[in-house]
């Protein structure tokens, strides 16, 4: 038994290709069928690593009786939210308006012209736990369409009118940058869990962008309490079950408030964002544990989530062999079989492994106490304990690799790959790890070679050897920003040329000339019931905020006033949103913090193979300094340089006292600093607190 999804490439759609439901992919054939048959559309949106999507498939979409109801009364469309985030944004907003909450699987009933009139998320096959049964929902909606259609159409028109207006940028008299940043910090303090770390209660999500914003606010005002929230959150996550203590990497979230029991799926974007946050925390604190967690997370991606062509896969499932978390949990006997009695006793004490278990009779590895605490309590030598546990973890990882792995979603998404390229390039430059920078370059070359059309436009997703769908704003923004980071890690100026090419496309096809913001879809995208603005962070940074960030950085590097003007206009248009929802706009607030300044264009001249140049460059990269861009050449004029970045080097000259460094603001430069001693003093000055711009 197959349906129309059998010809798709998405792993999620292919999971449903053998359902008895007569699924269509979103497209003209489905839309024409709904109009011709005068049937409402049942739109089901999910993704391949979604546990409850699997549950609803098993319970309902594989149920012949429920499938018959769906086929009789509806045109059924299945959408992978990762392939079509444009559709997911629109209809998730509709479901939240109708029900007050959202999630996946998302289930929405549409008129034949795609207007939503009823929706929800997961429904069980029969009523239970206060939820209606899916069969009752289908029968009720079919009856409403047949006998009370005018009410359904009126509901659809009202919802659609609201969707068209919601989330649009709105200008007005708003607070100053200082007030907005202080307000955001205060709101985060109010929601912070000072017992367990994180924001709010269960379920608990990482919120990497909030942590990055708090680090920037700490950098500006040096409030120790702000930094304490960051380090507590990072420590608790790194010690909890949300972190994979054997293979590295983070799960999507935990169902409890203590970070113990994860929803075991692993997403590329979480691991990109968290790796970057841990690298920045290492720069701020010098805590080598943050370096270890960042490296183990990136190593997990390079080992288990990297395509042979260089791109990065999207996700690993929560389930294996039909059970959530089976791949990751351990029994006491399993640990003893691998490590032996003596080694296992120490390991189990440290990692909370017991006979009764800490999760449904099984054990999720976690660290209730730190290694120094364990060593002190038991009288163990800390260095010996660390060395022994590293060996034990490697042996258990090897044993775990023999298990049936969770399914992997091998889609390669340009936006999420941009996030990972940024994390790898940044970590590689900070840690001096060329393998991370090399992996970032390889992925960037793959995207540049396979995700672009002849006219330079980007495509969104690669799967089964095929790139599809026009890229959205986040694809252009994330990749542009990543290429700037990659340039700063390598000083290969071709990455700047590529970044400028993408930024020009973004400016041409996504700008909202009325609000000065950006649309999520291009001006020639498929016509949908509304054209959205992506201003709020979700599990990933806001597309608009990422575009602003990329344009600010690239504008300062290349002297592009049009980029800076567009970024500042989009920030102005988003200030109301930042004022109203500071905890949901951390990426916008980071862009505001960058734009408020002081922001430095640092230009370095000198042979980068020279020990003094390498030394001061390494020193800069180890420091936390979020308000700068960095350009470097051996001399001010090189034959194979990029004309895009030439202006930043104009009028600057290398000297024999290497290196020569200029620190500029708004393209006005101070006295050049020459030689390692002067440059080291400059770095120190630039990393001092700056509560307000212009104080230097």
Distance CA 177, CA 567 (A): 15
Residue 605 contacts residue 636 (beta carbons within 8 Å): yes
* Residue 352 predicted with pLDDT over 50: yes
Residue with tokens 């990422």: 546
Residue 92 phi/psi, 5-degree rounding, is -65, -40
Task: Output the CA torsion sign for 643, 424, 541, 303.
Answer: positive
Structure tokens at 366: 């976690």
* Residue 338 predicted with pLDDT over 60: yes
* Residue 91 predicted with pLDDT over 90: yes
Instruction: Give per-residue pLDDT as tens, 376-412.
Output: 999 999 999 999 999 999 999 999 999 999 999 999 9
* Residue 694 predicted with pLDDT over 80: no
Residue 320 phi/psi, 5-degree rounding, is -145, 140
Per-residue pLDDT averaged across 98-122, rounded? Answer: 95
**DSSP state, 6?**
G
Class of domain 597-696: alpha beta
Q: Does domain 4-165 have CATH number 3.40.30.10?
A: yes
What per-residue confidence (pLDDT) applies to 551? 98
> Per-residue confidence at 175, pLDDT binned at 50, 70, 90?
confident
- The distance in angstroms from the start CA to the end CA of the chain is 71
What is the DSSP track for 360-400? TTBB----SS-HHHHHHHHT--HHHHHHHHHHHHHHHHHHH
Instruction: Give per-residue pLDDT as tens, 503-544.
Output: 999 999 999 988 889 999 999 999 999 999 999 999 999 999
What per-residue confidence (pLDDT) applies to 688? 85
Nearest to 535 by CA among 596, 581, 482: 581
Residue with tokens 């390079």: 302
Question: Long-range contact list for 82-85, CB < 8 A, 24+ apart?
Answer: 82/10, 82/12, 82/47, 82/314, 82/409, 82/411, 82/413, 82/461, 83/10, 83/12, 83/411, 83/460, 83/461, 83/468, 83/469, 84/26, 84/45, 84/469, 85/472, 85/474, 85/520
Structure tokens at 367: 């660290």
Instruction: Give per-residue pLDDT as tens, 652-661.
Output: 988 877 899 9
Q: Which distant-in-sequence residues (6+ apart) come within 8 Å of 436 by Cβ?
A: 298, 424, 425, 427, 428
Residue 670 contacts residue 562 (beta carbons within 8 Å): no
Distance CA 617, CA 575 (A): 36
What per-residue confidence (pLDDT) applies to 155? 95
Residue 609 contacts residue 533 (beta carbons within 8 Å): no
Structure tokens at 299: 């190593």
Structure tokens at 78: 């299945």
Strand partners, 605: 633, 660
Question: What's the CA dihedral at 590, 595, 600, 601 to 10 degrees?
Answer: 100
What per-residue confidence (pLDDT) applies to 696? 32
Residue 630 phi/psi, 5-degree rounding, is -130, 125
Domain positions in the chain = 4-165, 189-408, 597-696
Residue with tokens 């009823």: 118
Residue 371 contacts residue 389 (beta carbons within 8 Å): yes
Domains 4-165 and 597-696 share a fold: yes
Residue with tokens 């260095």: 383
* Residue 599 predicted with pLDDT over 70: yes
Question: What's the CA dihedral at 240, 241, 246, 250 to 10 degrees?
Answer: -90
114 torsion bin: left (phi>0), alpha (psi -120 to 50), beta (else): left
Residue 576 contacts residue 170 (beta carbons within 8 Å): yes
Average pLDDT score, the chain: 95
Per-residue pLDDT averaged across 117-126, rounded? Answer: 95
What per-residue confidence (pLDDT) applies to 475? 98
Structure tokens at 628: 């700068």
What per-residue confidence (pLDDT) applies to 695? 33
Residue 414 contacts residue 335 (beta carbons within 8 Å): no
Chain length of the chain: 696
* Residue 238 predicted with pLDDT over 90: yes
Q: Half-sphere exposure of 120 toward its Cβ, with a 13 Å CA cutoff?
A: 11
């Amino acid at each position: 038994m197959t349906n129309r999804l059998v010809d798709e490439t998405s792993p999620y759609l292919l999971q449903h290709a053998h359902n008895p439901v007569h699924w269509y992919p979103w497209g003209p054939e489905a839309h024409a069928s709904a109009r011709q048959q005068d049937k409402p559309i049942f739109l089901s949106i999910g993704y391949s690593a979604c546990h409850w999507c699997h549950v609803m498939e098993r319970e309902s979409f594989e149920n012949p009786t429920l499938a018959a109801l769906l086929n009789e009364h509806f045109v059924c469309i299945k959408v992978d939210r990762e392939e079509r985030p444009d559709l997911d944004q629109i209809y998730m907003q509709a479901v939240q308006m109708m029900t007050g909450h959202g999630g996946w699987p998302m289930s929405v009933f549409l008129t034949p012209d795609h207007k939503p009139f009823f929706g929800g998320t997961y429904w069980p096959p029969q009523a239970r736990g206060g939820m209606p049964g899916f069969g009752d929902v289908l029968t009720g909606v079919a009856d409403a369409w047949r006998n009370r259609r005018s009410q359904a159409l009126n509901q659809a028109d009202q919802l659609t009118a609201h969707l068209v207006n919601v989330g649009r940028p709105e200008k007005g008299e708003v607070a100053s940058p200082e007030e907005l940043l202080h307000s955001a910090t205060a709101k985060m303090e109010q929601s912070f869990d000072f017992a367990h770390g994180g924001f709010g209660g269960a379920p608990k999500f990482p919120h990497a962008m909030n942590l990055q914003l708090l680090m920037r606010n700490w950098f500006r005002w040096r409030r120790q309490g702000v930094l304490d929230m960051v380090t507590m959150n990072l420590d608790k996550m790194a010690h909890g079950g949300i972190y994979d203590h054997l293979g590295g990497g983070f799960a999507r979230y935990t169902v409890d408030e203590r970070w113990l029991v994860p929803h075991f799926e692993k997403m590329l974007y979480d691991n990109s964002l968290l790796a970057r946050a841990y690298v920045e925390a290492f720069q701020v604190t010098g805590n080598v544990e943050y370096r270890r967690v960042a490296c183990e997370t990136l190593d997990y991606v390079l080992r288990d989530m990297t395509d042979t062509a260089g791109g990065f896969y999207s996700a690993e499932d929560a389930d294996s062999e039909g059970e959530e978390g089976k791949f990751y949990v351990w029994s006491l006997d399993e640990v003893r079989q691998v490590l032996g009695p003596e080694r296992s006793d120490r390991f189990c004490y440290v990692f909370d492994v017991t006979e009764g278990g800490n999760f449904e009779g099984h054990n999720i590895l976690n660290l209730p106490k730190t290694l120094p605490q364990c060593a002190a309590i038991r009288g163990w030598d800390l260095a010996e304990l660390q060395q022994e546990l590293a060996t034990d973890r490697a042996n258990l990882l090897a044993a775990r690799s023999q298990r049936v792995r969770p399914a992997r979603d091998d889609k390669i998404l340009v936006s999420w790959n941009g996030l990972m390229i940024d994390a790898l390039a940044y970590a590689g430059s900070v840690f001096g790890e060329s393998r991370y920078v090399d992996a970032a370059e390889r992925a960037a070359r793959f995207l540049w070679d396979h995700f672009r059309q002849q006219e330079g436009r980007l495509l969104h997703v690669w799967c089964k050897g095929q790139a599809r769908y026009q890229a959205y704003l986040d694809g252009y923004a994330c990749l542009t920003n990543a290429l700037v980071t990659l340039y700063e890690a390598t000083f290969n100026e071709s990455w700047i040329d590529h970044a400028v090419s993408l930024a020009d496309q973004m400016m041409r096809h996504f700008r909202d000339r009325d609000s000065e913001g950006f649309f999520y879809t291009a001006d020639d995208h498929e016509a949908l019931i509304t054209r959205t603005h992506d201003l709020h962070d979700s599990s990933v940074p806001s597309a608009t905020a990422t575009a602003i960030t990329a344009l600010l950085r690239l504008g300062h590097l290349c002297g592009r006033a049009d980029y800076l003007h567009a970024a500042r206009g989009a920030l102005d248009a988003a200030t109301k949103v930042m004022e109203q929802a500071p905890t949901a706009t951390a990426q916008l607030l980071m862009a505001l913090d960058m734009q408020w300044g002081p922001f430095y264009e640092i230009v370095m001249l000198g042979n980068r193979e020279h020990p003094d140049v390498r030394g001061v460059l390494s020193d800069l990269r180890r420091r936390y300094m979020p308000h700068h861009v960095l350009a470097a050449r051996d001399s001010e004029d090189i034959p194979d340089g990029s004309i895009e970045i030439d202006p930043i080097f104009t009028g600057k000259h290398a000297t024999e006292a290497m290196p020569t460094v200029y620190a500029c603001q708004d393209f006005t430069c101070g006295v050049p600093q020459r030689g390692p001693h002067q440059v080291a003093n400059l770095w120190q000055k630039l990393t001092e607190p700056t509560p307000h711009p212009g104080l230097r």
